[in-house]
Amino acid sequence: MAMFNAIWTLVLFIMFVGIVLWAYSSSRKKDFEEAANLPFADEEQKLNKDGEK
């Protein structure tokens, strides 16, 4: 049982490191910046429809 727990812990740790590397990779930066600005894009569309700037 202890061997299973050790292997499971190692698998989860490797998955965690993989997710962290994926999230902080420079190739994902553009996608994350676009996602972060999505709430502001909706406001710009409303302003354009109302004719305001």
Q: Where are the domains of the chain?
A: 25-53
The per-residue pLDDT for 17 is: 98
Query: In whole angstroms, what is the distance from residue 43 CA to residue 52 CA?
Result: 11
Q: Are 28 and 22 in contact (CB under 8 A)?
A: yes
pLDDT at 21 over 80: yes
pTM: 0.57
pLDDT at 9 over 70: yes
